[in-house]
Amino acid sequence: MENEWGCEQSTLINELIQGMEVARKLKADLKAPYSVDAKDLMVQRILSSYEKALLILRCNASTSELQTMNQAAPTLLPGSPISVNGSPLREDVEGAIKDHQEVKHDAKKRKIMPKWMDQIRVSFDSGLEGAHEDGYNWRKYGQKDILGAKYPRSYYRCTFRNTQGCWATKQVQRSDEDPTIFDITYRGKHTCSQGNNAVLPPKSPEKQENPLNHNIDIHHAQTSQESLAKFRNVLAVSTDKLENGEMAYPITFPSTSFGCTAQENHSLIPSAIENEYFLGGLYQTHLLSPTTPESNYFSSPAFHMNEFDGIYNNIPSTHTSATNSPIPDFNFTLDPVEIDPTFPINTPGFFS
DNA sequence: ACTATTTGACCGAG
DNA sequence: CTCGGTCAAATAGT
């Protein structure tokens, strides 16, 4: 917990620093010929930084409560799932009672598992709404119509649940109010090999994650890798939400709130400022939470595709798969050591 | 053959 | 009882 708070602290500091930097940039750019939207985006970025900082502080305030919870049910915490390495349950006992208890266990675990929510906005321009990536391999195991919700909720679990005992799950639901937004609820931390790697090589390039199943034929909608490469970059975080009191370990939300609430205006944003702006966020993300693959899709720079066709054409389009492949190429490319966050990536051939 | 998805059934919580 | 979450058989895709 102490380490986690240390981690949160650095995240907090980074958020504040980032907010300050953007504010500074905004100040410097006040008289620059940038669009109002670009400036608005910066303001929102600043606000977002402060919001996150406050969020971290608030979450930390509830740490004591969570600690109590952890002590009450230590074996159920993510990272020590049942029947995996180091399981507190003896194998013989486990085998005997598994069938009977697993269900109850799951139900109990469901309550205790850390849970956090995100929203991503998917541009309709992409033609790939519903598909998104977060760096993990998910397997869909259910879909449910939710009372009062327009769209069904999809349930995913880690592909490696059986092989590696990874109990991470997520739920994906399209927002009623704004169909371009997907609410994603994550439960449990990845204990699989993916959980140790923020960046993973893509696996099965054909798979598409479509949480809606609303007859969206992704391959028909847009089949070219170019389009998919574009798509990954129109993903953007709308807002980040945490369920207070349910977070049993620090979730270092990446400082990539660059997409916050301003996604519609991409086309109006001058590419230069946008690049620098988003790159900064991405850089920060990579720096802050290198082992938090949940953040990977946040790292998708919300560039406007039209302005970056040339660039994206040069990106190895590793995923026609939405489910299995994160945005690895981006994260590699944007290693903070290698790239100055203010480096103008709209330089032709930058990605090549 | 193997893996992933779909979808109705089932179960526990409230 | 309803509802949300999960299971698992059937089905589809490779």
pLDDT value of residue A318: 36
Residues with CB under 7 A from strand C: A 102-103, 106, 110, 141-148, 153, 155, 157, 169, 171, 187, 206
C12 C1' to A320 CA distance, Å: 19
Q: How far apart are CA A349 and CA A352, in angstroms?
A: 5
Token reading at A282: 């991405």
- Strand C nucleotides with an atom less than 7 Å from a protein beta carbon: 2-8, 13-14
Residues with CB under 7 A from strand B: A 103-104, 107-108, 137-144, 159, 204, 207, 209-210, 213, 323
pLDDT value of residue A326: 36
pTM, full prediction: 0.43
C10 C1' to A144 CA distance, Å: 18
Q: How far apart are CA A113 and CA A117, in angstroms?
A: 13
CA A37 to chain CA centroid, Å, is 24
List the pLDDT tens digit at each of the 352 positions of chain A: 544 455 456 666 666 777 777 677 767 766 665 565 666 666 666 666 666 666 656 555 444 444 443 343 333 333 333 333 333 333 333 333 333 334 344 444 555 566 777 666 664 444 443 345 677 889 999 999 999 999 999 999 999 888 888 888 999 998 888 888 888 888 888 888 776 653 333 333 333 344 433 333 333 333 333 333 333 333 333 334 444 443 433 333 333 333 333 333 333 333 333 333 333 332 333 333 333 333 333 333 333 333 333 333 333 333 333 333 333 333 333 333 333 333 333 434 333 3
Q: What angle do CA A57, A59, A65 make, to 5 degrees?
A: 130
Q: How far apart are CA A12 and CA A18, in angstroms?
A: 10
